[in-house]
Amino acid sequence: MFFSRHLLLLLAGFSGIISPASAHFLELVPSTALVTKSGESRLSFDIRFTHPMEGGPLMNIERLDRFGVQTVDGKHDLTGQLIVETLPMALNPARVQSYTADYSIRRAGDYTFYASPSPYWEAEEKTMIIHHTKVVVNAYGLENGWETPVGLPVEIMPLSRPYGLWTGNIFSGQVMNNGTPEGDAIIEIEYRGEGKITPLATPYITQTIRTDENGVFHYAMPKAGWWVFAALLDTGKTLPAPDGTEAPVEEGGLIWVHTQNMP
Ligand SMILES: [Cu+2]
């Protein structure tokens, strides 16, 4: 699907494997998956555009057009909380922007955080990429909203509650394209290995599954940690590329879920 220059450069290091199969994903990862005591209630987010399994390289996020939280009270804009983080980019003398943000949880309930970066020009694919991304943090066990859509242009609706999952659990979701189920969509799945896992071969880096005709998919997560599910759609939109020509837009709906080993 994807032919990523970043990946190829990375793989040149390990055994000359050439593969077209890996992608970048927007990471929206909170400091804790569940808030169970007040000491955990100050969340900090790392918002990065990267390859989660390999833990890099980073790609630039020019700006975040959307960053907020949805609770039982509605949506709250959090773009004022964003702090730009400028980090050196591997394999390139340029520096790239990522973001961090803090958010203090004061009440029990479900907190759905969401972010949409400005379109990213993927030169190798000649595509503009936009990843609408969300993650649900539950506080103090009150379940009141994880199943409520945020209303992102492309969005994965969790059919499994997206927190409190054990390692090995199946995660089920439904892909919505402007509120309508998207059948036969491609879902890419990646574990946030942060470069600590050496994949035996490139197909292990990104898993690919297809939804059924109702946009529904299922995947069993074999390891504890953070997993991303990305529905990547060609919605027929175009945007001007840096050279001014109209380029297709890959619009993604992403959800991050966390798994925990059973003690
Ligand atoms: Cu990349």
pLDDT digits (tens, 9 = 90+) for 121-143: 998 889 999 999 999 999 999 99
Look at the block and give the residue holding tokens 């907020």. 68
**Per-residue pLDDT reduced to its tens digit, 248-259:** 999 999 999 999
**Count: domains in the chain:** 1
Domain range enclosing 178: 5-260
Q: What is the pLDDT of residue 95?
A: 79
pLDDT for residue 91: 62
Give the confidence band of 18 by pLDDT, cuts at 50, 70, 90: very low
Output b/e per residue, 4-34; b: 16+ Cβ within 10 A. bebbbebbeeeeeeebebbbbbbbbbbebbb
**Distance (Å) from CA 126 to ligand 1 centroid:** 13
Judge whether residue 158 has pLDDT over 50. yes
Which residues lie across from 259 on neighbouring strands? 165, 225
At residue 92, the pLDDT reads 63
pLDDT for the residue numbered 235: 87
The pLDDT of residue 19 is above 50: no
| CA 102 to ligand 1 centroid distance, Å | 26
Name the average pLDDT for the chain: 91
Strands 34-35 and 127-139: parallel
Q: Determine phi and psi for 80, rounding to 5 degrees.
A: -70, -15
- 247, 241 in Cβ contact below 8 A? yes
Note the pLDDT of residue 10: 45
Question: How is residue 39 written in tokens?
Answer: 């000491």
139 Cα–ligand 1 center, Å = 33
User: Would strands 246-260 and 165-166 be described as parallel, antiparallel, or unpaired?
Assistant: parallel
**Whole-number percent of the chain with pLDDT over 90:** 84
Q: Ligand 1: distance of its center to the CA of 58 in Å?
A: 7
Q: Are 105 and 139 in contact (CB under 8 A)?
A: yes
Which of 52, 62, 58 shows the shortest CA–CA distance to 27?
52
CA of 210 to the centre of ligand 1 (A): 22
In the chain the beta strands, taken as DSSP E runs, fall at: 25-30, 34-35, 42-50, 64-71, 74-77, 83-88, 95-104, 109-117, 120-122, 127-139, 154-158, 165-166, 170-177, 180-181, 186-191, 207-210, 216-220, 225-240, 246-260
pLDDT tier for residue 20 given thresholds of 50, 70 and 90? very low
- Reference 24, options 230, 210, 220; nearest CA is 230
pLDDT at position 32: 97
CB-based contact 75:213 (threshold 8 Å): no
- Please write the tens of the pLDDT for every residue from 24-39: 999 999 999 999 999 9
Q: Distance from the CA of 122 to the center of ligand 1, in angstroms?
A: 8
Residues 192-249 have pLDDT tens digits of: 999 999 999 999 999 999 999 999 999 999 999 999 999 999 889 999 999 999 999 9
